[in-house]
Amino acid sequence: MKLTYSLGHMLLLILSIAAQGEKSWWNLIREDLRVIFLLVLFLVNLLILAVVLYLAGLVVVGKKRALLSDAFIISLLGTVLSILFFMFLPYRLLALILSIIVWLLLIKRLYETGWLGAIAVGILAMVIFLAVTVLLALFFGIMEVLIERFLLWF
């Protein structure tokens, strides 16, 4: 109970500092844990992206062609290639254009659809991801207010 309370309080502290812009949240992480934090963050983002791509694929291309394993492969390869493009290409606009083309090509090949289907999956995935992000932000914002008011009682 005490551990979950302190973890929840730490999460709220990080979110409030990030929202206020007073100090970088990166400085709150101990230096020896930063690589582990980045790996966990990468894996969590990868899983979330795979689920979002799977849901978008189900809607656009159907249940037979949209597999969760394909969505995971798309998210893994797309993320890794996009990171490499942004790391090694000197022009950000070129890296962005190549990343978009690679994402669409991966969706097109693995979901066995055309370019319009790939674009539809990509747009729907962005809409789903944005909706989930807004809902989570609202949830954590409401939780922060509730916890702050609860802490005022004690």
Is residue 131 in a domain? yes
Residue ranges making up the domain that contains 53:
29-152
Domain total for the chain? Answer: 1
Model confidence pLDDT, tens digit, residues 6-29: 455 555 555 555 555 556 667 777
Is residue 34 in a domain? yes
Is residue 67 in a domain? yes
State pTM to two decimals. Answer: 0.72
Model confidence pLDDT, tens digit, residues 112-126: 999 999 999 999 999
Q: In the structure, how many helices (H) and strands (E) does the chain have?
A: 5, 0
Comparing CA positions, the residue from 51, 42, 98, 44 lying closest to residue 74 is 51
Is residue 14 in a domain? no
Residue 78's CB is within 10 A of a number of other CB atoms, namely 21
